[in-house]
Structure 1
Amino acid sequence: MTVIRDDEAVEPSSSSTLPRRQLGRFLREWRDANGFTIAAAAKMVDLSASALQRIEAGQTQKVRKQDVRALCELYAVGPEDMRAAIDLAVVARTQGWYHAYGGLYSDAFNMYVGLEAAARRVVSYHEHIPGLLQTEDYARAIIGAFPGFADPADVDRRVEHRMKRQAIITRKSGPVTLEVFLHESALHRLVGSPRIMAMQLRHLAEVSKLDNITVRIHPYSAGLVWGMSRGPFMVLEFDTNSKGEFVEPPIVFLEGGPSQDVYLERPDEVRLYGEFASAIRSASLDEGRTRELIRRVTKEFDHDQH
């Protein structure tokens, strides 16, 4: 068994921190689920406590495959997830790594969901109602429309997973701050049925009243704004320390759909998408006018049901 010494330095790296952060989060959750302290788990696999702490914090680039395998065996991780964890340890060494695994692995390795749950603030632009604000019926219609999800049980599982994700915006302790810019087309595009759309828009208007949630519509009348041509995006920010510095660097997420998802970490890329968000924000309706428009379109869908 390879031992990482207490005095081993954390190596500076130009490679992505995302695989390391995801691997560390995964190992930490499995350790907690099995009731091990860091000291106890580290001792069982012949690591120092400080070494395991760095692995869980995503601060060690060269995580040994042997160590990951030993930890997974200790936590009784299944073979598929164990292979995925070892793959992340390998990918963490790669320079210029920038995309995630999409749907290749289990929910435990859904990179975006893990980052979303750890985020302090999310700023996003969408052209349909985003997952965190969807009703169950709307989510089912969106997910069920994908040709690859022919099995109703698979659709049910994904819908349930999406609904559980929404706890991060409604939990009593430290809910995620969510700022959503939604193109007006999302209000009019029929998803499922007029009944589903009416229920979804009512939910959107109500949830937008929460203190930690801002929803603003970018209307057709605002035209094309700089940044919209890049398509939907999400900027995720994380907790800060006592000095106001990010504990984890912010990232940009670009959903790949049937292709691979893309994650941008370079400061200049993150800054650019922050500028996109600012441009869209300046051209969007305020919150009051947004709710008025949502309610007006809701009435149109109500009328269509009769």
Structure 2
Amino acid sequence: MLRKHRVCAGKSQLAAGLHIEISPQTLGRMEDGQKIKISTVQIASLLDFYGIGDPSAERSEVLGLWDEVKQEIRSAKRSGSSAGWWRAYSDQYAYHFDQYLSLEATARRITIFHLALIPGLLQHPNYRRAMIRIADPGLSAVDVERRLELAARRQAMLAERSDTLSMKCLLSEAVLGHKPGGRTVMAEQARYLVDLAGRPNISLQVVPLDAGDHLGLVVQSFTLLEFPPLPSRNLTEPPVVYVEGYEGALYLEHGSVIDRHRRAIAGIEQVALSESDTRQLFSRVAEECEA
């Protein structure tokens, strides 16, 4: 309804967003029915901007619907159903990871480059257990299991959304040299990677240590998240590069930064093994660790 009034008033999403001090992407999300942070004052200001004054039936209808939305939000909060499913595990991850999980839940494509470890979405439970013990050796058995459960639910999402979410993972060969939990755990992990590589929405490639010069040598491990177009098709949610460190994380959205990381991905792909050769390498690693 707000989109209809905006179009009838001849206002662009950019102009309307600027009027209430939000981005055109955020305004587009609202018009597409997605949740955003917006106040009743901003809604009323939009109606004024669109020439829907008070009193009028159109204004009363919009504000009446907005009251219903607010009541539903309050009801959802009381019942504990307003937040993403991962919030139930908020005591098990760093504060900066909450935003990443919300982005991951809506992404259409995830591209990962890792230098030292298997990414969380690809970790076998025993590999994950070993990493938890390394990072937090004093953690209780109950909390270890909850973290494993969180990881399992993220991985299930990757399987359940096979038609709407794809993932490309580029791994330095050094990842296979590190063996958290020992050789038996690494064998399980390598076998697990072979299985994952067979899924239609997952692409895995290893970058050999002797690959020569490439941009992967000068960038940190990172994740590029890309999102589907908004239903209005007027705007697309901008991609985000996520870079995690020991003490925090960066969320990078500037166009030039995204372009540099896209170039890095293209350069890394050029020197990476094929998907078939990568699966064979995983199998060899598993056999070597089992020997």
Shared fold (TM-score, shorter chain, > 0.5) = yes
Aligned equivalent of 1:163, options 152, 159, 167 = 152
Residue 280 of structure 1 and its aligned partner are, at CA, apart by 0.6
SS of 1:254's equivalent?
strand
Residue 220 of structure 1 and its aligned partner are, at CA, apart by 0.5
Is residue 203 of structure 2 the alignment partner of residue 196 of structure 1?
A: no
2:57 is aligned to: none
Aligned equivalent of 1:299, options 263, 276, 287 = 287
Contact 1:168 1:176 in 2 (8 A): no
Answer with 241-250 or 279-288: which moved more: 241-250
Aligned equivalent of 2:141, options 132, 152, 160 = 152
Task: Tell me the distance in 2 between the aligned counterparts of 1:284 and 1:218.
Answer: 4
Amino acid at match of 2:131: I
Residue 78 of structure 1 and its aligned partner are, at CA, apart by 9.0
Amino acid at match of 1:285: L
Alpha carbons of 1:244 and 1:183: their partners in 2 closer, same or farther (altered >3 Å)?
A: farther
RMSD: 3.6
Is residue 106 of structure 2 the alignment partner of residue 118 of structure 1?
A: yes
Amino acid at match of 1:104: Y
SS of 1:11's equivalent?
helix
Aligned equivalent of 1:264, options 252, 255, 260 = 252
1:33 is aligned to: none
Task: Tell me the distance in 1 between the aligned counterparts of 2:212 and 2:272.
Answer: 10
Contact 1:143 1:149 in 2 (8 A): no
Aligned equivalent of 2:269, options 249, 273, 281 = 281
Amino acid at match of 1:209: G
Is residue 10 of structure 2 the alignment partner of residue 9 of structure 1?
A: no
Is residue 111 of structure 2 the alignment partner of residue 104 of structure 1?
A: no
Aligned equivalent of 1:174, options 156, 163, 168 = 163
Task: Tell me the distance in 2 between the aligned counterparts of 1:193 and 1:26.
Answer: 46
1:76 is aligned to: 77
Q: Deviations over 1:179-214 (max 9, x none)?
A: 000000111211112111101101101111111110
Report percent identity of matched pairs.
29
Task: Tell me the distance in 1 between the aligned counterparts of 2:260 and 2:68.
Answer: 35
Residue 119 of structure 1 and its aligned partner are, at CA, apart by 0.4
SS of 1:221's equivalent?
coil
Alpha carbons of 1:111 and 1:203: their partners in 2 closer, same or farther (altered >3 Å)?
A: same
Q: Deviations over 1:14-45 (max 9, x none)?
A: 98x89xx8xx7699xxxxxxxxxxxxxxxxxx
Residue 152 of structure 1 and its aligned partner are, at CA, apart by 2.2
SS of 1:132's equivalent?
helix
Amino acid at match of 1:103: A
Task: Tell me the distance in 2 between the aligned counterparts of 1:149 and 1:235.
Answer: 32
Residue 143 of structure 1 and its aligned partner are, at CA, apart by 1.8
Residue 250 of structure 1 and its aligned partner are, at CA, apart by 0.8
Task: Tell me the distance in 2 between the aligned counterparts of 1:11 and 1:51.
Answer: 24
Alpha carbons of 1:190 and 1:238: their partners in 2 closer, same or farther (altered >3 Å)?
A: same
Contact 1:228 1:280 in 2 (8 A): no
The equivalences for 1:20-35 within 5 A come to none
SS of 1:123's equivalent?
strand
Is residue 236 of structure 2 the alignment partner of residue 247 of structure 1?
A: yes
5+ residue gaps, structure 1, are 1-5, 28-45, 54-66, 83-101
Larger Rg: 2
Alpha carbons of 1:274 and 1:265: their partners in 2 closer, same or farther (altered >3 Å)?
A: same
SS of 1:125's equivalent?
strand
Is residue 173 of structure 2 the alignment partner of residue 184 of structure 1?
A: yes
5+ residue gaps, structure 2, are 7-14, 38-61, 84-92
